[in-house]
Structures are given as structure tokens and as C-alpha cells.
Amino acid sequence: MATCGNPNAPAVKFERLPTFAEPTHYDVRLSPCLNQFSFEGLSTVDVTIKEATDVLKVHAQSLLIQSVSLVANPGDAAKTCDTSYDDKLNILSIKLPSVVQPQKVQLIFKFVGELNDKMRGFYRSQYKDKSGSEKFLASTQFESTYARYAFPCFDEPIYKATFDITLEVENHLTALSNMNVVSETPSTGGKRKIVKFATTPKMSSYLVAFAVGELEYISAQTKSGVEMRVYTVPGKKEQGQYSLDLSVKCIDWYNEWFDIPYPLPKCDLIAIPDFSMGAMENWGLVTYREIALLVDPGVTSTRQKSRVALVVAHELAHLWFGNLVTMKWWTDLWLKEGFASFMEYMFVGANCPEFKIWLHFLNDELASGMSLDGLRNSHPIEVEIDNPNELDEIYDSITYAKSNSVNRMLCYYLSEPVFQKGLRLYLKKFQYSNAVTQDLWTALSEASGQNVNELMSGWTQQMGFPVLNVSQRQDGNNRILTVQQRRFISDGGEDSKNSLWQVPITVSVGSSPNDVKARFLLREKQQEFVVEGVAPGEWVKLNSGTTGFYRVEYSDEMLTAMLPDIASRKMPVLDRFGLINDLSALLNTGRVSIAQFVQVAASSANEDEYVVWGAIDEGMSKLLMCAREMSDDTLKSAKQLVIKMFEKSGAELGFAEQSGEDSQKMMLRALVQARLARAGHRPTIEKFNQLFTDFLEKGTPIHPDIRLATFGVVARCGGKEGFDKLMNLRETTTFQEIERQAMIAMSQTPEQPLLAQLFEYGFEKNKVRPQDQLYLFVGTGSTHMGQQYAWKYFCEHIKEFLEKYGGANSSLFQRCLKFAGESFGSEQRAVEFQDYFCNCKELNDTDRQTLARPIGQTVEAIRLNARLLESNRSVIETLLKQSNL
Ligand code: BES
Ligand code: ZN
């Protein structure tokens, strides 16, 4: 991992709470004031002391603690306690009046806190009402360690307790919490009311939530009788209909799939204007970014609508995986995130067939997990977490996408009914309690009669994943495969650890490409397997259905044999994707050349599936990226090659939706036409411009699925005039997806003054919500100028970024950091990037420790770009010469 600064500086020492005291119940009363951005709090915590002690420790942060007192026995008078505070650990130490023997006591806290604007703890969001005046609402984000911003608590997932929440708010506001309201009474003075909520089940502090504001809602009931509501700020509730319908279905579906009914009487889903993540699974009060919950049927793109379905299903899956059964410590974060991610696809796959979601799984989960896990700066799924400050960084494609893919692999290996049985056992056994990974393996072993621990620990405890090298020989009617495994590292180098996995291998063959012909388990470094009944010349492919989390590198002979069935699409789509995605990843290792990739891509001229074209497109963008660094002439020829490859599809697809098409067609159309436009294909560019003009001048709607592509062309080719039009659109639309797309498009402008204007508008004038500012970085990597500008801007404003997002551990900050560097492509830039963080005065040693992995990953990504170019320079020259362009 990248380290810098003083290597001898001691790592910041971190401490968990002492285990001799446990909370059993909290009574928390808060009075938020939306005008003053503050709240007053009074809480009583029932604590069981298990060993004699004269000190108790709890978490608290950014709270002004006015008093702490102890009630040692029921009926005793409360005794005031002295306290001391450690602001590195956020621990409040409470000195007890005397040594207390093992017994139950009560702690009473009086405190004041801030409704901050950092999107963590109890914080405020800003929005404009219909008349344009500024309004605020207050809501919470407690995961991972921010409950302590709202009330003093034992803020670690292991300390489950019940909660009684009471909120005192102005009469015209709605107050929500995890549970249903049990009473609403006027407060003294008459302007405020006291809203008391029912007692929660036993749960971890990070799942507590409140929301207070002028809210409206729509509601429905599940078959099982749970009241579901979608809340929004005024004027948006209709956009919640899609999510409401889906969430009702989802609760019933999970009730049955997990065989445990959702235990709360209600579940609210609320769209919050300022929200740092996508969504948060608070039990009974799930919070979402507006864009992740709200849908306008005529305006939302298919992709975004499917994202909404996935996010809704993800958070609701947490109600079981995470809320009912919680990881003991953050090391096992994947136990909730990996399973919520897997279940989101299970639900959407079964209930929203129109999205063809398992096709998208391959790119969005499998390929994305492999892409991060191919780096040397990856980490194992079960990751050691010492200081929770490092935590935000772990919510990454390993914890989500790799875990998800590994779950899918295991589900296929054990079969769905067996997998389901194991999960049900696990959930029942650990409900209202905590678990570790081993507990899950034990349940799955019990369900399957297999040693799941032995099979899976390699996948969750080692970082990385294998690439299998395969060669073959024929023996009569048998095909003998020699399979060798080694860690796949994107730079093609060696693995110093000599990692080994147990790899479930499936095999399919040319005569029946849709079936699994044979199954094996690779346990050794190298093994031979016999596939019976394969005719000479018939192709053999590993990883049928691309269900395994590994890549395959075939001998030339094996790969060539598959090409005709890729071209004819006789090979199933999941396999075509897997094959092409593997090849594209192998480009960076130097083991496959761009010329070889182009050869396979060329045999996909008749390809008709969006996801496969996506994989081809990704490989071709690597060619263009290299060509851009070589010379103007090379870039010109490379663009011509791309046009030659995409032109036929582009002509067939056209721009307009045809009746009877599936949801993938419009996305495919957008992808192909956007690539042609980027390659400089004039007729395509003109057509896009026409779409935009017709939209502005005649009000002809742009199909939502081709909107981003259209905006992109306008930004890249439309100069200042196009830029201004996009800016105007962003300013006048009220729909968040359009806002976001306009920003991503504008960030692709090739003109520096326009980019400067955009960054000033977004960051300095704060016209873009902090949650969305990272989108200004998304498109900058598409030009040299943009990449350099973004990097320079990041360096010059790092202080403001840190301040705005709440520090180096903020995931928004870390995502900006990555975007600002990852498109560079030279050794010199890699060094510059790394050195900057070593020397940056705005960072301290803890920050550097927190950022070590994201920095290391970005440096590695830059080096990979450089490497790709160096190993393909001459190949590209030859390829372009031979292509008769
Ligand atoms: N529990 C997370 C939210 C979270 C992430 C809290 C990081 C604290 C730190 C939630 O369940 C989640 O995973 N949200 C995802 C969306 C999901 C569909 C993958 C997110 O916010 O991106
Ligand atoms: Zn989650």
C-alpha cells in the first residue's frame, strides 16, 4: 500500500469501548429547531454492568454535554458524575461516584447538538418550496459511527438495545422515526408538539433514525399488513409511486424468501434532498437520495429506473441482512452489504423481468468487482478494521460487487434451494443478535452437507481472484483440459503470496452451448480434467454463464474455435460477455494485445445485446485512449477503425425507439451512437445536435435513454453556445437525473474557460449540492485539458473539499480524489499524484492513513494506463496500417 510521510510515525492508537458494560435500553428525547440548526436532548440509558467499575465509557461527538448523572438503583436520586472527553476517540468517560458492582444502572444525559450540514449524524437538508423560498428539513445518517453526533451511546454494532424515541417539533412539521407514533401531545406554549414513538426491537445504534420537516406521503399495505409509505418534500410524492408499489411487493417477497416476517408494523421510505450515500437501511425509516427513490415515468431513464428498483430492494433486504442479524464488527461488513446486494438482484430478477437485470449484473457487479480486485492495493472481503475512521473507504466494489459475485457463485455451486435453506438457518439462529462470517459458513454447511468454510474462506480472506490458464488435448471422444490457476493482477505481474483458491469450474461445449456439460472443483495450482463426449474440433468454454469470480485465458486454438459461435450468437449472451470482458481485462496485463481484442470484437459485428456491446466498447475505448497519446494521425486512424466497426449497427439501430423492442434496445442505440459521435462520425453528431435543437425549439422530447448521449455531444461539439444551453437546462429543470446528466455532459467540454466556469459555479458558488459535486469530475477525464484542469483544481482546493465533506474519511471526498487522478496515463503523473498527498499540508498522519488505499489504487490505475500504452504502441501502429482505413 502507498505509504508516505514519516514511516516511523506511530499509527494512531485506536480503542474499542470496554466490554464490561452493555446498554439494554435507551430513552431519547430530542427537540430540534430547524431555524437555529440545533437540538436539545435528554436521554436515559439502561446499562448492565458486568464487572465492578468506577468508570463508564460511551461515544459522543460534536455534542455539548450539559450534565451526566447516575441512578444506581431504581428509586435512588440521580447523582451527578464528572466526565472527561477524548476527542480523538470520541469517547466520554464518566466517573462514577463510587465503585459499582455488577448490576443494572441508569445514566442520564442532558446535551445540546447541532443540525449540521455535513450529511452525517442529525443534519439539515436544504430545498426550495414552490414559491422559491428556502426550506430545511432534518434527518439522520448514523452508519457507520455517527449516532454519537445525536446522542451519547455505545456506538458499535455489537451493542444492541431497544430504543424509545420522542421528538418535540413545531406543530406544522411531520416527525418520523423507526417505529410508529404512539402518542402526539401539545407541548407547553402550544407552538410545538411531542411525538412519541413505539419501542424498537433490539437493534444496533447505527440503525436509529429520525426525520423532521414539511413532508408529504403516499401509502399502501403489504399482504402481510405492514403499512408502507413514501415520504418526500412537498410537491414530489407522486414520483414515489413506482418505489411504493415495488416496496410493497418486496416486503412480501422477502417475508417468504427468508421465511421470517418483517417484524415492524410500518416501513417508511423517505427521499432526502441532501444525502451523501445512495440510501440507508434504517429499520422502519429507510432514507434515500431523491434520485435513488423518485421516478417520473416519462422522464426517468430505464437505467435509472432499474437503479431505483435495485436500491429499494437492496435497502429492504438489509431489514433482514444487517438489521435483524448484524455483523459483530465492521470487519464483517460484507455480511450485510454483500447479501443485500445479492438479494437486490434476486428480487429484481424475479419481479422486474423487463430490466434483464442479470445481464447488467455482469458488468455492474462482476466486472466492477474484478476491476478493483485486480489491483495490488485491493483488500480481502473480510477486512481488518481497527479504527472506524478507515471505514468509509471499505464501502467499495470489494465489499459490494465482489461479495455479491462471490455469493452468486456460491448460490450456483450449492443450487438456489440449498443456498436459501442455509441463509434461512443463519437468519433464524442469529436474529436480534450478531454474527461473523464463520457463522454463515456453518449454516450453509449444515444446509448443504458440504464443507463451505473450506470452499469459501479463500474467496473472502484472500484478496484478489484467480485467472485460469487453459489448454486442451483430444483423446478419442474425450477432451482433456489442463487448468492452471494464479492470481490475476491487472499489471500482469506476479503474486508474491502464492494465493490459491478452490475454484468451481463449469464447462460448456459447442454442441449444446446452453447446458453445463461438466463440473469440477479446482483445488490445486494445476489439475487435469476430462470432459467426456466432446467431438474433435468442438469448442469448449469454461465458466458457463459467467457465474464464477475468475477470469479465463485460453490457448489460441481454443479461443479461435469459439469465434464462429460468438459471431452467430449461438453462444449464450452471458458467455459472450464474459469472454470479451476477460479479453479486455487481459489487455492491461500485456498477455492479450489490442490487435487480438479487435479480432474478437470484429467477429461480433452482428452482436445485438447491450451488455456485450458495452464490453466491446470498453475495449475499443482503451484503443482510443492509447491512440490519443501516440499522435494525431494515429488517433484519426483509430477513430476510423471504430467507425468501421460500429457504423453498420448504428445504421440499423437508428435513433428512434421501435415498437415492440425490449428495454435494452434503446440503451444499445445510445451506446453505439454515442461511440460513433465520439469517433467523429459527422452524420451521427449532426443527428444528435438535431435532437437537442428540436427539443429546445419545438419541445420534441428526447428519449430518456439517449438523453445523456445527446447532452454529451452538445457539450463536446457545441462550444460555448451548447454549454450555455446545457447550463440553462440544468438551472431550470426540477428533475435530478436531468441535472446530473447535464453536469456530467458539461464536464466533458474541451474548452478550458468553460470548464473553469463550471467548476466555479459548482464548487465556489455552491450552485451544485455537495452530494452531487463529484459529477463535475466524471467527464473531465475524457480530454487531456480536462484531466489536468481537474487535478489542478483538486490540489488547489483540497482544503475546501475537506471542510465541505467533513474530512478525509468522507466517501464524497475520496471519490473526488480518485476521479481527479485516475485518467492520467504516465509514470510521471503517477509519482506526482502520490507525492502530492505525501507533502500536502492540509493532511495529517491520520488522514494519510485513512487515504492510503484510495491513493494507492489511483496510482496503480494511472500506471496501468501507462502500461497499456507501452505494451501496445507498436501493435496499434501495425493494426491501423493493416486495417485499410
Ligand atoms: N448501508 C449502506 C449505506 C452506507 C454506506 C452507510 C456507506 C454508511 C456508509 C446502504 O445499504 C447502501 O449500501 N447503499 C448504497 C446503495 C446500494 C443500492 C448499493 C449506496 O449508498 O451507495
Ligand atoms: Zn447496503
Q: Helices 403-414 and 437-448: crossing angle, nearest 10°?
A: 20
Rounded CA gap, 696 and 735, in Å?
Answer: 16
Rounded CA gap, 735 and 745, in Å?
Answer: 16
What is the Å distance from ligand 2's center to 118 Cα?
20
551 beta partners: 467
Rounded CA gap, 801 and 778, in Å?
Answer: 16
For residue 308, the ligand closest to its alpha carbon is 1
- Whole-angstrom CA distances from 850 to 53, 389, 718 are 34, 7, 41
Rounded CA gap, 650 and 260, in Å?
Answer: 50
pLDDT, tens digit (0-9, with 9 covering 90-100), for 363-378: 999 999 999 999 999 9
Residue of 123, 149, 203, 280 to test ligand 1 pocket, by largest number of atoms within 8 Å of CB? 280
What is the Å distance from ligand 1's center to 314 Cα?
9
Give the rounded distance of the alpha carbon of 34 from its chain centre. Answer: 31
Q: Whose CA is nearest to atom 13 of ligand 1?
A: 337
What is the Å distance from ligand 1's center to 850 Cα?
19
Confidence of residue 5 (pLDDT cuts 50, 70, 90): very low
Q: Whose CA is nearest to atom 7 of ligand 1?
A: 395
228 beta partners: 220, 267
Over residues 713-723, the mean pLDDT reads 98
Q: Are 314 and 340 in contact (CB under 8 A)?
A: yes
- Measured distance between the N- and C-terminal CA atoms of the chain, rounded to whole angstroms: 44
Is residue 239 pLDDT above 90, yes or no? yes
Q: Whose CA is nearest to atom 6 of ligand 1?
A: 143
pLDDT, tens digit (0-9, with 9 covering 90-100), for 664-702: 999 999 999 999 999 999 999 999 999 999 999 999 999
What is the Å distance from ligand 2's center to 336 Cα?
7
Check residue 389 and give its pLDDT. Answer: 73
Residues of the chain above pLDDT 90, percent: 92
Q: Whose CA is nearest to atom 8 of ligand 1?
A: 143
Give the strands of the sheet with 181-186, arranged side by side. Answer: 79-80, 63-71, 103-114, 38-49, 21-33, 162-170, 192-197, 181-186
What is the Å distance from ligand 1's center to 25 Cα?
27
What is the Å distance from ligand 1's center to 319 Cα?
13
What is the 8-class DSSP label of residue 400? I
Q: Are 205 and 282 in contact (CB under 8 A)?
A: no
Check residue 391 and give its pLDDT. Answer: 85
| Residue-averaged pLDDT of the chain | 95
Q: Whose CA is nearest to atom 18 of ligand 1?
A: 311
Is residue 6 pLDDT above 70, yes or no? no
pLDDT, tens digit (0-9, with 9 covering 90-100), for 491-544: 999 998 889 999 999 999 999 999 999 999 999 999 999 999 999 999 999 999
Is residue 385 pLDDT above 80, yes or no? yes
Ordered alpha helix ranges (H), 747-844? 752-759, 775-778, 784-796, 798-805, 811-821, 827-839
- Give the position, in ligand 1's atom list, of the atom nearest the Cα of 337: 13
Greatest distance between any 2 Cα atoms in the chain: 93
Neighbouring C-beta atoms of residue 159, cutoff 10 Å:
20
Around ligand 1, the residues with Cβ closer than 6 Å are 143-144, 277-281, 310-311, 314-315, 318, 337, 340, 392, 395, 400
What is the Å distance from ligand 2's center to 574 Cα?
26
Is residue 7 pLDDT above 60, yes or no? no
Residue of 120, 205, 277 to test ligand 1 pocket, by largest number of atoms within 8 Å of CB? 277
For residue 811, the ligand closest to its alpha carbon is 1
Check residue 830 and give its pLDDT. Answer: 97
What is the Å distance from ligand 1's center to 811 Cα?
11
Check residue 587 and give its pLDDT. Answer: 87
Over residues 269-292, the mean pLDDT reads 98
What is the Å distance from ligand 2's center to 316 Cα?
9
Check residue 14 and give its pLDDT. Answer: 82
Q: Could you tell me which residues come within 8 angstroms of residue 575 by beta carbon, excluding any fewer than 6 positions away?
A: 508, 513, 541, 543, 544, 545, 546
pLDDT, tens digit (0-9, with 9 covering 90-100), for 781-828: 989 999 999 999 999 999 999 999 999 999 999 999 999 999 999 999
Q: Whose CA is nearest to atom 17 of ligand 1?
A: 311
For residue 340, the ligand closest to its alpha carbon is 2
Give the strands of the sheet with 466-475, arranged side by side. Answer: 526-531, 478-487, 466-475, 551-554
Check residue 254 and give its pLDDT. Answer: 98
Over residues 340-360, the mean pLDDT reads 98
- Whole-angstrom CA distances from 113 to 167, 174, 745 are 14, 20, 40
Over residues 190-196, the mean pLDDT reads 96
Is residue 2 pLDDT above 50, yes or no? no
- Give the position, in ligand 1's atom list, of the atom nearest the Cα of 314: 18
Q: Could you tell me which residues come within 8 angstroms of residue 103 by beta carbon, excluding any fewer than 6 positions away?
A: 48, 49, 72, 73
- Give the position, in ligand 1's atom list, of the atom nearest the Cα of 310: 18
- Give the position, in ligand 1's atom list, of the atom nearest the Cα of 281: 11
Q: Could you tell me which residues come within 8 angstroms of residue 347 by beta carbon, excluding any fewer than 6 positions away?
A: 250, 253, 254, 313, 317
Rounded CA gap, 783 and 371, in Å?
Answer: 22
What is the Å distance from ligand 1's center to 280 Cα?
6
Q: Are 87 and 141 in contact (CB under 8 A)?
A: no
What is the Å distance from ligand 2's center to 89 Cα?
26
Over residues 615-630, the mean pLDDT reads 94
70 beta partners: 79, 107
- Give the position, in ligand 1's atom list, of the atom nearest the Cα of 391: 9
Q: Whose CA is nearest to atom 16 of ligand 1?
A: 278
Residue of 395, 399, 400, 815 to test ligand 1 pocket, by largest number of atoms within 8 Å of CB? 395
The residue among 119, 117, 67, 121 whose CA lies nearest residue 90 is 121
Q: Whose CA is nearest to atom 20 of ligand 1?
A: 278
The residue among 20, 107, 28, 22 whose CA lies nearest residue 70 is 107
Q: Whose CA is nearest to atom 10 of ligand 1?
A: 280
For residue 143, the ligand closest to its alpha carbon is 1
pLDDT, tens digit (0-9, with 9 covering 90-100), for 831-879: 999 999 999 999 998 899 899 999 999 999 999 999 999 989 999 999 9
Q: Are 470 and 555 in contact (CB under 8 A)?
A: yes
User: Which of 315, 553, 607, 860 is flagged as catalytic?
Assistant: 315
The residue among 291, 259, 286 whose CA lies nearest residue 274 is 291
Ordered alpha helix ranges (H), 415-485? 416-430, 437-448, 452-461
For residue 391, the ligand closest to its alpha carbon is 1
pLDDT, tens digit (0-9, with 9 covering 90-100), for 580-606: 999 999 988 888 889 889 989 988 888
- Give the position, in ligand 1's atom list, of the atom nearest the Cα of 315: 11
Q: Whose CA is nearest to atom 1 of ligand 1?
A: 280
- Give the position, in ligand 1's atom list, of the atom nearest the Cα of 392: 9
Over residues 118-145, the mean pLDDT reads 96
Q: Are 155 and 23 in contact (CB under 8 A)?
A: no
Residue with cell 431504581: 74
Q: Are 168 and 193 in contact (CB under 8 A)?
A: yes
Check residue 3 and give its pLDDT. Answer: 55
Residue 94: what are its φ and ψ, rounded to 5°? -110, 115
Q: Is the pTM of this model over 0.85?
A: yes
Is 315 a catalytic site residue? yes
pLDDT, tens digit (0-9, with 9 covering 90-100), for 297-344: 999 999 999 999 999 999 999 999 999 999 999 999 999 999 999 999
The backbone region for 432, taken as left when phi is positive above 0, alpha when psi lies in -120 to 50, beta otherwise, is left
pLDDT, tens digit (0-9, with 9 covering 90-100), for 19-65: 999 999 999 999 999 999 999 999 999 999 999 999 999 999 999 99
Dihedral (CA of 845, 851, 853, 858) sign? negative
194 beta partners: 168, 185
Residue 29: what are its φ and ψ, rounded to 5°? -115, 125
Is residue 392 pLDDT above 60, yes or no? yes
Check residue 10 and give its pLDDT. Answer: 54
Q: Whose CA is nearest to atom 22 of ligand 1?
A: 278
For residue 397, the ligand closest to its alpha carbon is 1
Check residue 589 and give its pLDDT. Answer: 86
Q: Are 544 and 506 in contact (CB under 8 A)?
A: yes
Q: Is 314 assigned to a binding site? A: yes
- Give the position, in ligand 1's atom list, of the atom nearest the Cα of 143: 8
Confidence of residue 157 (pLDDT cuts 50, 70, 90): very high
